[in-house]
């Protein structure tokens, strides 16, 4: 190891980092620094940056020496200047962004764009070469790192964890990811806990608890910590030697663990303590030690811009110049502003550069999934509504075969709910990953497998994001209500994809697929706390190019939706459907066609006269509302022989929007054809009813659309009782039609009263006997004639 050259790289990276925060001109300090060289508004964050640069330089040595594939994850917030500086020094930045040349002119542009209107953010972001982790919202770095190395046995993810970030819940849970990492078939994560002591304005917990306690904590999490403490910030040689020694020890130990798992008889009982590093170094290390008499280096005052007011304070201007010159730019860069050759040659080459690794641009590694034959898994349907099948279980059978066909690049994630959500067929061909003790009584647990189960939605989401962004495929199955736990993680991923799509150098990655079940209408076991269909509302706020929402009404449609979503790229697909056996309305090919259209008239359920407008339209989206609408149509058809009623089912929710607002939106004329221009529309929707208004408020017939949905009424009860409490039940819908068709309203009071009475009777029965509607009325379509089907 050449400490001097390594230190030179670090100085260069620090110099380029400081330049980004401060300079708009004179990037190599060829002349004394003038006020006009400094940006007018100083925005950016220095505090965490020198530590990141330090670690990066050392990782580069290891990569180059060992030709080790490595991915760098920047956990600390506002670490962007470091990633960008190193990417520029490695040449990657200029290869990707040709305007930012690897010379003085490019350096000037690199400096100027940082934290500047229309420029680049101060966090590691999609724009940042080598990054798969957005450093704005903290807490997900370690989960991303684990997701990245699953099924990548040759990869080490070096994950720098900020001590601020370490206080978050998701990060705290992520340490336990080692209970799910298989040393044989997965790569390794090297956590580097970077204790620089402060977050924005406070000390951090992990930097202030006694070191012995911190060591116990890390050992308790299952790691073997190597402590590197920078006692004297000026003794940089010592710091380099200490860190290099710890790093070598860790990488060697990773090799030993992997070799033991891969080459010898596996000791399945043993759970190795994986190495990790605790680096204690001053916040703002190498920056101004004291400013205006206040200690800055090593304190929270180094968090953002340590020297401010440069334009009004010559002393600060001089201190800035002194600081920048302390890195000796003259030794680092040639006259043209190129990085000195001797320094540059330390970096790894080509794709081994962490700024250029394909693992951080996963689309480069992505392979299409081999898909099962749709027909093999579809439910045969002679007539609509004769056979029950669970949409989720049907998808489970499909996923079982998908896993068989794709044993290395697909995983299924769930918070201890995969079987509860009825996907348990997958266990016929794979297992749940588990590295701790396995007892005789346990089922489907193994060291390796395709299913990841942990009682943390954060970990499921974080692992999956890491897995997808490194070029693989996956599904996250979750209880509908509790997916809100990752609302914010979804936000950040959707934002990542939005920016990523606009960057030509970022290759498309597989979509993030949510399968949400155990939904609001099926809460026999749980109740009010488990009732929240609002994730859809949350999702549709994000860019239309990124998000899709599907509400398959039956098993075959679910299958068609699943098959489609697994083939898409750069999207977030949200699928919501039931796990209980429910009527299958469409045959295999009908279902596929219905899914492709996304919306359609279900002739078998309604009754129309050719060439005439219906008297009313019953719209539906979601499995339970669809069942209630079909039952309501049947009640109406039986009671009112002359009524023309149309049933429209929506499987692709974005079809309701206009084509100008969403790529899947329906053109105005098509919408008007389906929903008419002036007839009453009673729409039964799976979620909060106002979402349908928000999606359709520009439609011609909007003022006639009356929506029923979940209005936050519920408890532990039957699906039918739930429908009653929220007035989305068949009887209510039938009464709604009578109330809104003028000719019926005035003449059919008796029939309306009949529905009302039946409703009351059914409700009383279900409440008295704890039974669901099937037991109350029998299945309403039982006596439908085959002619009803289409």
Per CB under 8 A, contacts with its own copies among 266-325 are 271, 295, 298-299, 304
Least Å distance between CB 474 and its own copies? 19
What is the length of the chain? Answer: 790
Beta bridge partners of 199: none
Q: Is 717 a residue that touches its own copies (CB under 8 A)?
A: yes
Total chain residues near its own copies (CB under 8 A): 123
Least Å distance between CB 239 and its own copies? 21
CB neighbour burial string for 526-542, b if at least 16 within 10 angstroms, e if fewer: eeeebbbbbbbebbbeb
CB neighbour burial string for 312-344, b if at least 16 within 10 angstroms, e if fewer: eeeebbebbbebbeebebeebbeeebbbbeebb
Segment 423-482, which members bind its own copies (CB under 8 A)?
432, 434, 436-437, 439, 441-442, 445, 453-459, 481-482
Token pair of 571 as six digits: 């999207």
Least Å distance between CB 498 and its own copies? 7
Segment 233-262, which members bind its own copies (CB under 8 A)?
none
Closest C-alpha among 772, 552, 754, 756 to residue 653: 552
Least Å distance between CB 240 and its own copies? 26
Nearer to its own copies among residue 15 and residue 223 (C-beta) = 223
Region near its own copies per CB under 8 A, out of 82-90, 202-210, 576-584, 637-645? 202-210
CB neighbour list of residue 685: distance below 8 Å, 6 or more residues apart: 619, 620, 621, 622, 625, 691, 692, 707, 708, 709
Nearer to its own copies among residue 305 and residue 403 (C-beta) = 305
Residues 49, 60, 83, 115: which binds its own copies (CB under 8 A)?
Answer: 115
Least Å distance between CB 42 and its own copies? 10
Beta bridge partners of 70: 156
Nearer to its own copies among residue 452 and residue 650 (C-beta) = 452
Region near its own copies per CB under 8 A, out of 12-20, 199-207, 282-290, 549-557? 199-207
Q: Is 167 a residue that touches its own copies (CB under 8 A)?
A: yes
Residues 32, 169, 663, 778: which binds its own copies (CB under 8 A)?
Answer: 169
Nearer to its own copies among residue 173 and residue 789 (C-beta) = 173
Segment 750-779, which members bind its own copies (CB under 8 A)?
766-767, 769-771
Least Å distance between CB 765 and its own copies? 10
Least Å distance between CB 122 and its own copies? 6
Residues 31, 117, 609, 641: which binds its own copies (CB under 8 A)?
Answer: 117
Least Å distance between CB 180 and its own copies? 9
Residues 448, 488, 501, 756: which binds its own copies (CB under 8 A)?
Answer: 488
CB neighbour list of residue 645: distance below 8 Å, 6 or more residues apart: 606, 607, 608, 614, 615, 616, 617, 618, 633, 636, 637, 737
Interface mask toward its own copies for 721-750; x: CB under 8 A:
x-----------------------------
Is residue 364 packed enough to be buried (19+ CB in 10 Å), middle (13-18) or exposed (0-12)? middle
Region near its own copies per CB under 8 A, out of 62-70, 213-221, 554-562, 666-674? 213-221
CB neighbour burial string for 610-641, b if at least 16 within 10 angstroms, e if fewer: eeeebbbbbbbbbbbbbbbbbbbbbbbbebbe
Segment 493-552, which members bind its own copies (CB under 8 A)?
495, 498-499, 524-530, 532, 534, 537-538, 541-543
**Sign of the alpha-carbon dihedral angle for 164, 168, 172, 174:** negative
Residue-by-residue DSSP string for 637-690: HHH-TT--EEEEEESBGGGGSBTTT-TTPBPHHHHHHHH-SSS-EEEEESS-TH
The SS3 call for residue 587 is coil
Nearer to its own copies among residue 59 and residue 419 (C-beta) = 419
Closest C-alpha among 456, 473, 475 to residue 516: 475
Angle at 15 between CA 55 and CA 41, to 5 degrees: 115
Nearer to its own copies among residue 208 and residue 266 (C-beta) = 208
Least Å distance between CB 17 and its own copies? 16
Residues 146, 550, 688, 731: which binds its own copies (CB under 8 A)?
Answer: 688
Nearer to its own copies among residue 63 and residue 547 (C-beta) = 547
Least Å distance between CB 172 and its own copies? 4
- Cα separation, 436 vs 447, in Å, equals 9
Q: Is 142 a residue that touches its own copies (CB under 8 A)?
A: no
Nearer to its own copies among residue 129 and residue 614 (C-beta) = 129
Interface mask toward its own copies for 39-78; x: CB under 8 A:
xxx-xxx---------------------------------
Is residue 769 packed enough to be buried (19+ CB in 10 Å), middle (13-18) or exposed (0-12)? exposed
Residue-by-residue DSSP string for 452-480: EE-S-HHHHHHHHHHHHHTT-EEEEEEET
Element containing residue 113 per DSSP (H, E): helix 104-113
Least Å distance between CB 695 and its own copies? 8
Beta bridge partners of 453: 414
Interface mask toward its own copies for 562-601; x: CB under 8 A:
----------------------------------------
Interface mask toward its own copies for 76-105; x: CB under 8 A:
------------------------------
- Cα separation, 77 vs 480, in Å, equals 30
Residues 404, 568, 716, 777: which binds its own copies (CB under 8 A)?
Answer: 716
- Cα separation, 518 vs 533, in Å, equals 11
For the chain, state the CA radius of gyration.
Answer: 30
- Cα separation, 461 vs 476, in Å, equals 7
Phi, psi dihedrals of residue 550, rounded to the nearest 5°:
-125, 135
Residues 29, 155, 171, 189: which binds its own copies (CB under 8 A)?
Answer: 171
């Amino acid at each position: 190891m050449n400490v001097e050259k390594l230190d030179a790289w670090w100085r260069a990276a620090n110099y380029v980092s400081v330049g980004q925060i401060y300079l708009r001109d004179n990037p190599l300090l060829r002349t004394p620094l003038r006020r006009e060289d400094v940006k007018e508004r100083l925005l950016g964050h220095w505090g965490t940056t020198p530590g990141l640069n330090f670690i990066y330089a050392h990782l580069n040595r290891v990569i180059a020496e060992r030709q080790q594939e490595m991915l760098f994850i920047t956990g600390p917030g506002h670490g962007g200047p470091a990633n960008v500086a190193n990417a520029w020094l490695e040449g990657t930045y200029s290869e990707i962004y040709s305007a930012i040349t690897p010379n003085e002119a490019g350096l000037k542009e690199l400096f100027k764009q940082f934290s500047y209107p229309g420029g680049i953010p101060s966090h590691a972001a999609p724009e940042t070469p080598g990054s798969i982790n957005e450093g704005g919202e903290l807490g997900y770095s370690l989960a991303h790192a684990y997701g990245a190395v699953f099924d990548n046995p040759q990869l080490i993810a070096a994950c720098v964890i900020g001590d601020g970030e370490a206080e978050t819940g998701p990060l705290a849970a992520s340490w336990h990811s080692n209970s799910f990492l298989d040393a044989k078939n997965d790569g390794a994560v090297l956590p580097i806990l970077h204790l620089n002591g402060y977050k924005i304005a406070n000390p951090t917990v992990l930097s202030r608890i006694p070191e012995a306690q911190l060591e116990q904590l890390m050992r308790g999490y299952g790691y073997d910590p190597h402590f590197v403490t920078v006692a004297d910030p000026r003794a940089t040689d010592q710091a380099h030697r200490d860190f290099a020694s710890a790093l070598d020890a860790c990488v060697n130990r990773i090799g030993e663990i992997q070799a033991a798992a891969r080459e010898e008889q596996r000791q399945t009982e043993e759970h190795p303590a994986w190495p990790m590093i605790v680096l204690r170094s001053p916040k703002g290390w190498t920056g101004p030690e004291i400013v205006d008499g206040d200690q800055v280096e090593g304190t929270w005052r180094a968090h953002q811009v340590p020297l401010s007011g440069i334009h009004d304070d010559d002393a600060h201007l001089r201190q800035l110049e002194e600081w920048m010159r302390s890195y000796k730019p003259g030794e680092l860069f040639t006259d043209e502003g190129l990085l000195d050759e001797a320094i540059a040659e330390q970096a790894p080459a080509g794709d081994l550069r962490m700024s250029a690794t394909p693992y951080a641009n996963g689309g480069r590694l992505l392979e299409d999934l081999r898909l099962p034959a749709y027909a093999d898994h579809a439910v045969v349907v002679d007539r609509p509504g004769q056979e029950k099948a669970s949409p989720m279980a049907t998808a489970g059978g499909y996923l079982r075969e998908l896993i068989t066909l794709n044993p290395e690049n697909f995983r299924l994630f769930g918070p201890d709910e995969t079987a509860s959500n009825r996907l348990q067929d997958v266990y016929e061909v794979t297992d749940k990953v588990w590295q701790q003790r396995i007892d005789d009584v346990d089922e489907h647990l193994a060291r390796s497998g395709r299913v990841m189960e942990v009682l943390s939605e954060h970990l499921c989401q974080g692992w999956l994001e890491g897995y997808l962004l490194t070029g693989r495929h996956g599904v996250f199955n979750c209880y509908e209500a509790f997916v809100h736990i990752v609302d914010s993680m979804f936000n950040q991923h959707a934002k990542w994809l939005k920016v990523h799509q606009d960057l030509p150098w970022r290759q498309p990655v597989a979509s993030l697929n949510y399968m949400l079940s155990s939904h609001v209408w099926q809460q026999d076991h749980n109740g009010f706390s488990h009732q929240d269909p609002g994730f859809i509302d949350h999702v549709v706020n994000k860019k239309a190019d990124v998000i899709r929402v599907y509400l398959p009404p039956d098993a075959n449609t679910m299958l068609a939706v699943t098959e489609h979503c697994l083939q898409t790229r750069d999207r977030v697909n949200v699928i919501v459907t039931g796990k209980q056996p429910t009527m299958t309305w469409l045959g295999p090919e009908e279902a596929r066609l219905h899914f492709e259209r996304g919306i359609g008239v279900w002739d078998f359920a309604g009754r129309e006269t050719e060439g005439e407008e219906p008297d009313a339209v019953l719209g539906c989206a979601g499995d339970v509302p669809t069942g209630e609408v079909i039952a309501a149509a049947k009640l109406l058809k039986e009671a009112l022989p002359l009524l023309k009623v149309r049933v429209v089912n929506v499987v692709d929710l974005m079809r309701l929007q206009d084509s100008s607002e969403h790529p899947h939106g329906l053109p105005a004329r098509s919408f008007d054809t389906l929903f008419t221009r002036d007839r009453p529309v009673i729409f039964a929707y799976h979620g909060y009813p106002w979402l349908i208004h928000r999606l359709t408020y520009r439609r011609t017939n909007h003022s006639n659309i009356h929506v029923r949905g979940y209005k936050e009424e519920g408890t532990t009860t039957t699906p039918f009782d739930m429908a009653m409490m929220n007035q989305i039940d068949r009887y209510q819908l039938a009464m709604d039609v009578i109330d809104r068709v003028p000719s019926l309203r005035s003449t059919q009071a008796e029939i309306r009263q009949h529905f009302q009475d039946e409703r009351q009777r059914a409700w009383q029965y279900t409440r008295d006997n704890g039974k669901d509607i099937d037991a109350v009325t029998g299945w309403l379509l039982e006596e439908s004639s085959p002619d009803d089907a289409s």
